[in-house]
Amino acid sequence: MKITQIRNATIIIEYNDTKFLIDPWLGPKNYMKGFEAGINSHIRQPRVELPFEIEKIIDVDAVILTHFHPDHFDEYAANALNKDIKFFVQSQNDLEIIKSYGFKNLEIITEQGINYRNVKLYKTNCQHGKREIIKPICENVGMPYDAMGVIFKSEKEKTLYLAGDTIWCKEVSKAIETYNPEIIIINACAATVFNGERLIMNIDDVKEVLQNAPNAKIIASHMDTVSHLTVTRADLEKFKIENKVNNILIPDDGETIDFAKKIVL
């Protein structure tokens, strides 16, 4: 298994000889405004450029979109990707949206699990911020609230849990308890809206993941890119050092974690 951090939640997962592109946000630095409902809305985003040319990023077997938000999928991805590529989504609503961009080979990942090239994919549920607080805000600005996580299972690989855009919640706890993942990817920049509520994990949430999955390797993604972040890679590195935590990996954009070799390239 190899995991390459591209930028924000955009990563490439090489799993059982299959390359999955996750949440392709491929626009250039500063091309879009900050989110009006988020803090630091005056800051344009993405804050950084892609580490590779787009042609290299889209050289994959399949795409997984955890949810349709502007920092997880954009027109640059829609234009660059082959319209016949296998494309997995969380719901019929997202399927119809992606279909409208011309993609033809779409499938919904379910909680019961689906098979793709000898990989079993299971949908897990999220709270993209506290549901009772954030869902009305999303609806007010015309953005969907729901997001998914994904479990990857194969006889030849360790179980991987892509937690997706979520805070620590009962749904994440259940996924860890049910699947006992050996590797967990978390989105951890604590993106925050105007009322101070976070949309994804902060350091306290990271602590919960560590306590509930003490034997797993934790990979921090969704870092240092969106306008409304409140936790940086430097913050996580400081936490890691001060608390002598050895099982958190914080890859820079463009870095690959190779679990076969047990090194970061």
* Segments forming the whole domain that contains residue 257: 2-264
Report whether 161 contacts 124 (CB < 8 A): yes
Is it the case that residue 265 has pLDDT exceeding 80? no
**pLDDT score at 93:** 95
Helix (H), strand (E) counts: the chain: 7, 15
Is it the case that residue 263 has pLDDT exceeding 80? no
More confident residue, 260 or 176: 176
DSSP β-bridge partners for residue 62: 20, 86
Report whether 233 contacts 220 (CB < 8 A): yes
Kindly report the average pLDDT of the chain as a whole number.
96
Strand positions, DSSP E, 71-134: 86-89, 105-108, 114-116, 119-125
The backbone region for 17, taken as left when phi is positive above 0, alpha when psi lies in -120 to 50, beta otherwise, is left
> Of all residues in the chain, what percent carry a pLDDT higher than 70?
98
**pLDDT score at 261:** 63
pLDDT in tens, 181-240: 999 999 999 999 999 999 999 999 999 999 999 999 999 999 999 999 999 999 999 999
The CATH number linked to 153 is 3.60.15.10
Report whether 72 contacts 89 (CB < 8 A): no
Report whether 265 contacts 256 (CB < 8 A): yes
Total number of domains in the chain = 1
First to last CA, the chain: 13
**pLDDT score at 264:** 46
pLDDT in tens, 111-133: 999 999 999 999 999 999 999 99
Instruction: Using alpha carbons, select from 120, 125, 34, 25 the residue that is nearest to residue 77.
Output: 25
**pLDDT score at 141:** 82
